[in-house]
Structure 1
């Protein structure tokens, strides 16, 4: 876990945005490459990679980057997102988070567990499956499917917040390598700072507004339940991980807070009431950065800002 200084981030953002972005991205890629090397060495015994992490960790992009890294080693990779196994919002009784007074969208009960179990078992037997597609904007399945059969020489990367949950995996984890991904860094300033979960809040607020039909105020309303879900559904399974990836890019918060600054100001009281007062202060403290010419097309940050 890295502990970055805000003054250093701001200096780099102002003086050398190109070099700053390149260094941040390379640090992330070096982690990907190390994990890919390990997966390649173990592929005959463990052809499944389970990529787990809390909301807004960059799981989708990291699964794709692992695919690319293993492809350079001559190994074909298939990827499955557990997000596609979410049930259409109007087809089931959604679990309730009594602690926070909102629906518990983090619960594995929001997923089509029988279908997921069936598909994972068929994959292990080398049978074909038809993966559904879930649209987060409409909160519905689209009706489109993707056929997949896992060949003997392939690796499959399965990513999702519940990827380590043995209730979902049904024993398949015995043939898998666990990879835990999250924002594992923090940012410190003079007398205050942003913890990892606050950095992820910024990611999620921008992503959900851009791609999931959820304005920032909805993310704020749901945030305590998201954090509760991590404690209940993700943290107990972290020991399964063989590898850990920190997906934080130190330049990213300069961009995310630029996007969020006005809405943070408007919702300052609400943010403070749910423990995000540091985010309110950070919106005034992070420098802007010129990033468009320098951010690579496969950056994990595109998962949040587009």
Structure 2
């Protein structure tokens, strides 16, 4: 459901703290409803497969699900599927039409190991969760972590390809969960901020703040990221048992603080880039929002995954 710009600006003007609490409470209610469904299906499978495109807030959502499940007495393990990447072989790696390595392709994952892991965990056997070292682009199995699920335990596997045919397709008994920023901001019927823009802004700000990635580099990658989403992620979202909208009404006002630095990066994007106009429209859209002091954002807010200063630990 779209948000109305007037409601956002009024809430931030009259009672910013209360408005943020209201928005975060609404998101928590989505988490609570998802946990209800996960527990309903726990007898079918102890495996939860959480998918969503880049910038959707998968990591924080997985941690919030774990927190709520633990509160209800269910021991929960959250595992990043990034650890199941195969050691990169540049000679055999999948390529984009431009000839670059297609880092969005699910074939970079060790599907056989994932299949074996889900099967063993479901029947109560021990597995070793591997460790992928991104700096060396290789999997280091010697740093793996042993894991076994008892009767009242759940494992959440979080990754962009979790609902793919070669993962969820082999284990349809698992609980599938899809998350993305799905709500636009409208002024009447006029589009003011797209849900997709929330995701590119989240990713750009996070990479800029914490991953040493130049903003221009992030923007230049976005075309291939979106192409990968349309090929490898979106086609499988409707098989999810649970769909969560991760957008928060106040986040464009938080990211308005980055409008100037984003604008400078956008000015460097070549005019022939397929996303050129979209980037300029995105930066221009921040004029509809008065910047919100990030210090007002609660520590447990999903947005903290991207701006920092949150109460969750991101490994």
What's the TM-score once normalised by structure 1's chain length? Answer: 0.88
Which segments of 5 or more consecutive residues in structure 2 lack a partner in the other structure?
309-315
Residue in structure 2 matched with residue 26 of structure 1 by the alignment: 25
Change (3 A) 1:23 1:72: same
CA RMSD of aligned residues (A): 2.5
Change (3 A) 1:269 1:15: farther
Conserved 8 A contact 1:17-1:290: no
| 1:110 counterpart = 2:112 | no
Residue in structure 2 matched with residue 83 of structure 1 by the alignment: 82
* Residues 28-51 of structure 1 deviation map (CA, whole Å, 9 limit, x = unaligned): 000100111122232112322221
Residue 136 of structure 1 deviates from its aligned partner by 5.0
Change (3 A) 1:21 1:133: farther
Residue in structure 2 matched with residue 278 of structure 1 by the alignment: 281
| 1:122 counterpart = 2:120 | yes
Residue in structure 2 matched with residue 154 of structure 1 by the alignment: 153
| 1:297 counterpart = 2:296 | no
* Residues 177-217 of structure 1 deviation map (CA, whole Å, 9 limit, x = unaligned): 21111101001247542222122111111122233342211
- Higher RCO (Cα < 8 Å, 6 or more apart): 1
Conserved 8 A contact 2:86-2:110: yes
Which segments of 5 or more consecutive residues in structure 1 lack a partner in the other structure?
none
* Residues 51-99 of structure 1 deviation map (CA, whole Å, 9 limit, x = unaligned): 111111111111111111112221111111112222455666432221x
Residue 235 of structure 1 deviates from its aligned partner by 1.7
Residue in structure 2 matched with residue 186 of structure 1 by the alignment: 184
Tell me the SS of whatever aligns to 2:118.
helix
| 1:243 counterpart = 2:245 | no
In 1, Cα distance between equivalents of 2:87 and 2:144: 15
| 1:259 counterpart = 2:258 | yes
What's the TM-score once normalised by structure 2's chain length? Answer: 0.86
Tell me the SS of whatever aligns to 1:103.
coil
* Residues 101-134 of structure 1 deviation map (CA, whole Å, 9 limit, x = unaligned): 6432111122233333332232233222222334
* Residues 131-167 of structure 1 deviation map (CA, whole Å, 9 limit, x = unaligned): 2334556655566322211112212111111111121
Residue in structure 1 matched with residue 67 of structure 2 by the alignment: 68
